[in-house]
A and B are shown apart, each in its own frame.
Chain A
Amino acid sequence: MTFNQLKALVLLLAIPVGFALAVRLGREAEGYAKPQRFVRLHYGISPESLYYLPFSMLENVALARWAPGKTIVIVAGNSILNGYGQAERDVWTLRLQEELGDRYVVVNLAFRGALPYEAGALVAESLLRRNYPVVLVSNTSPGTVGRVAGNAYGYLYYDALYKGRLFNHPARDANIAEWEATATPAVRAEQDELRRAARLDANLRFQALWHHVGYRHLFTTWNPHTRPQFWQARASAVDNLPVAPPLAERFRTEVASELTITQGFSVNLAEPDGSGSWRVLGPPAEIVSDLIEDMIPPKMRRHMVMLLTQNAPFYRTRLTPTELARDNLVFSAYEQQWRKHGIAAHIVGLDFTDEDYYDRSHLAAAGGRKLARLTADYVRQISPP
């Protein structure tokens, strides 16, 4: 063998060695990598800034403060439960922790724009599957369930699935397969890539290692949320989610479009019954029922609190009496719909004031405190201390 060949051989042999070392480090990071002093997922640690927290990181956060004898309360859902509109020190889940006391560990894993059963909800499923005492608190609006795959946080489903973290729930697999069969080729290709990524990561643990590096040392991808110093470790990113201004400055912009959205909460879910009142439309309710059945494993359901979050009075009081009647009917009907599947569902926000809201849907600190009190009761009902 010539010296040139020897040099090439050394280089080629070192490549798999380097790769194997990285895999090893990834496996280690999977066990400990997590954001410190965690309150909630803000822009610095969320997919909005290209920081796609791996499932293991969410699990590590969920278990960080847990000790035997305590119940883990995972708060999933969307920006409303994320605390968008509340300063970090006022986030409603901190109040919920205070309300519930030391016997519970509250962890806010709500992602902005998430569906009621995805992302953080899957962490609760994983922990329950591993026999941890868990309560999942999530939120939605009437008519919204969605699938765990195919959305912005669908990557977490495949991540959890291929690492064997989820309950075996054939109805969910079948539903996703059926949806994919009717999706466009581009969507199918995207799902295929997500699955390949998750399958590879299940063996090679690249997400855990490089997200840990991104959090602790150096982030390598430009994004508008952390510009101009996008390379800074995400551990130094501050929670700068918007905070509700004084009441006089709220509800000033986009009033017309927000009112249309408020009307839209029930417009496609009920029809006039001919006697001046409303009846709930069958097909959308059936779709919701099927999706609850397909997406949420039966074992999870009695560990869940589903909050149907109402819109701010500023907008609801602008609904016509007919629209308001329809809105009330639809919220009640869908509350029952979730309950039929064994899930503790509650409408929240009906008795809240404009002071409690940051905008149409998000809560200010005052609303957060009220939500915390209500939710604490709901949690105790299904998981007494």
Chain B
Amino acid sequence: MTPSRLRQCGALTARLAIGLTIGFLLHYLLYRLSLPVQPFIYVAF
């Protein structure tokens, strides 16, 4: 495998990992919203 192809594979793997992480994060977010969340400070202004 050429270095540039290796880099491309690495980039795609990184995107895959980031995407999977975001998916998990969204699921976690749904749980976290059920706890008492704090309003955004600047919404009050």
Contacts and interface: CB of A to CB of B under 8 A. Distances in A.
Direct contact of A and B (CB under 8 A): yes
Interface of A: 3, 6-8, 10-23, 26, 50, 52, 155, 197, 200-201, 204, 206-207, 209-211, 220-221
A4 B41 CA distance: 36
B22 to A, nearest CB: 5
Interface in B1-42: 8, 11-12, 15-24, 26-28, 30-36
Given A6-B12, A50-B35, A52-B35, A14 B20 contact: yes
Contacts of B32: 210, 220-221
A340 B30 CA distance: 44
A272 B8 CA distance: 87
A22 B24 contact: yes
Main secondary structure of the interface of B (DSSP, over half): helix
A155 B16 CA distance: 35
B27 A13 contact: no
Contact of B27 (A8, A14, A26, A197): A26
A197 B35 contact: no
26 contacts: A3-B11, A7-B11, A10-B12, A10-B16, A10-B19, A11-B16, A11-B22, A13-B19, A14-B19, A14-B22, A18-B21, A18-B27, A19-B23, A19-B27, A21-B24, A22-B28, A23-B27, A50-B36, A197-B33, A206-B27, A209-B27, A209-B31, A210-B28, A210-B32, A220-B28, A221-B35
A373 to B, nearest CB: 40
Interface residues of B, number: 23
B19 A17 contact: yes
Nearest to A22: B27
A297 to B, nearest CB: 26
Contact of B30 (A6, A16, A206): A206
B20 to A, nearest CB: 4
A51 to B, nearest CB: 9
Contacts of A21: 20, 23-24
Given A10-B19, A12-B19, 15 more contacts: A8-B15, A11-B15, A11-B22, A14-B15, A14-B20, A15-B26, A16-B23, A17-B23, A18-B24, A21-B20, A22-B24, A206-B27, A210-B27, A210-B28, A210-B31
A201 to B, nearest CB: 7
Contacts of A155: 34
Interface of B: 8, 11-12, 15-24, 26-28, 30-36
Contacts, number: 88
Contacts of A15: 19-20, 22-23, 26
A11 B19 contact: yes
A6 B30 CA distance: 29
B43 to A, nearest CB: 15
B16 to A, nearest CB: 5
B39 to A, nearest CB: 13
A52 B37 CA distance: 14
A311 B19 CA distance: 58
Contact of B20 (A6, A18, A204, A221): A18
Nearest to B22: A15
Contacts of A7: 11-12, 15
B2 to A, nearest CB: 14
A3 B8 contact: yes
Nearest to B25: A18
A11 B35 contact: no
Given A20-B23, A22-B23, A14 B18 contact: yes
Contacts of A20: 23
A329 B22 CA distance: 62
Contacts of A220: 28, 32
Contacts of B26: 15, 18-19, 22
A201 B30 contact: yes
Contacts of A22: 23-24, 26-28
